[in-house]
Homo-oligomer: A and B are copies of this chain.
Amino acid sequence: MTPLVPMIEYEAAGAEVRAVFDDIMATRKSDWINNFWKVLANDPATLKRTWESVKQVMAPGALDPLTKELIYIAVSATNGCEYCTYSHTASARAKGMSDAQFMELLAVVGMANETNRLVNGLKPPVDPQFEPR
């Protein structure tokens, strides 16, 4: 399928977009830009804001970067976002995710989606023990 907006290549990009592209490559120590950023580049403000948010959120912090990629895959598989599943699975593998970890991740995602619906259909009240203190 054709993307719904053109993909802006580095060569054709204006200064504002190039600055973001440069920062993406520098941060990731890579020499290419993936298609997600090329379509976002149609709106430089959204490109810049989204990249800065992703960079901040995915940086090492209280959770390590691999765990964050696993969470990203969990959400993307729950929502059925194909591009996101491919791109974040690739990122997670680059950060060391093993085949066994990937399969276990999906097993948890599957169970959570199953029990979420058993709960939605049966409506047990939240146990007082689960209320935050």
* Residues in chain A within 8 A of chain B (CB atoms): 1-5, 7, 32, 34-36, 38-40, 42-43, 45-46, 49-50, 53-54, 56-58, 61-63, 67-68, 70-90, 98-127, 129-132
CB distance from A58 to the nearest CB of B (A): 7
CA distance A87 to B127 in the complex (A): 8
For A2, list chain B residues within 8 Å (CB): 123, 131-132
CB distance from A44 to the nearest CB of B (A): 10
Known pairs A39-B124, A82-B126, A113-B113; list 12 more (Cβ under 8 Å): A2-B123, A3-B123, A4-B121, A4-B123, A36-B118, A36-B122, A42-B103, A43-B103, A49-B57, A80-B80, A105-B121, A114-B114
For A80, list chain B residues within 8 Å (CB): 79-81, 116, 120
17 pairs, CB–CB < 8 Å, chain A vs chain B: A3-B122, A4-B102, A4-B121, A7-B124, A42-B99, A46-B118, A53-B111, A62-B104, A79-B116, A80-B116, A82-B123, A83-B119, A83-B123, A85-B123, A89-B130, A89-B132, A106-B122
